[in-house]
Amino acid sequence: MEQRKYRLDVISFGELPEDQFFCLMDVRLSPEPLDVDRIRLTDPRNFDQKLRDAGCLMMFTGDEVEELAGRGELNRDALEDSLIRLAKSEGML
């Protein structure tokens, strides 16, 4: 079985869609899931950089995921695979 190179990590800071972050992670740079407690301590001005340093390739809020799913660009039932396909089609992978 082929080892996955990417995984989907979900970070939640609340119940609203804009409080949910869906991060497509490079497993080679970040073999363990994101440490949400540690990320919460990050200065908000450095949040994006912290995620990039941890291997985040793409990040979407819950609102953005819903918008992309509504346009048929993502499949909610296979979100991880859909995000990988989207990243490949956008030339990010």
Contact 18, 62 (CB under 8 A): yes
Instruction: Please give the Cα distance from 88 to 80 (Å, whole number).
Output: 12
pLDDT band at 1 (very low <50, low <70, confident <90, very high): very low
Specify if 37 maps to a domain. yes
pLDDT band at 18 (very low <50, low <70, confident <90, very high): confident
The owner of tokens 């949400």 is 36
Residue 1 lies in a domain: no
Identify the domain containing residue 46 by its residue range: 6-89
Task: Tell whether 55 is covered by a domain.
Answer: yes
Model pLDDT for residues 35-84, shown as the tens digit of each residue: 878 877 888 888 888 888 888 999 999 999 999 999 999 998 999 999 99
Q: What's the pTM?
A: 0.82
In 10 A of CB 59, how many CB atoms? 18
Number of domains in the chain: 1
Q: Is residue 60 part of a domain?
A: yes
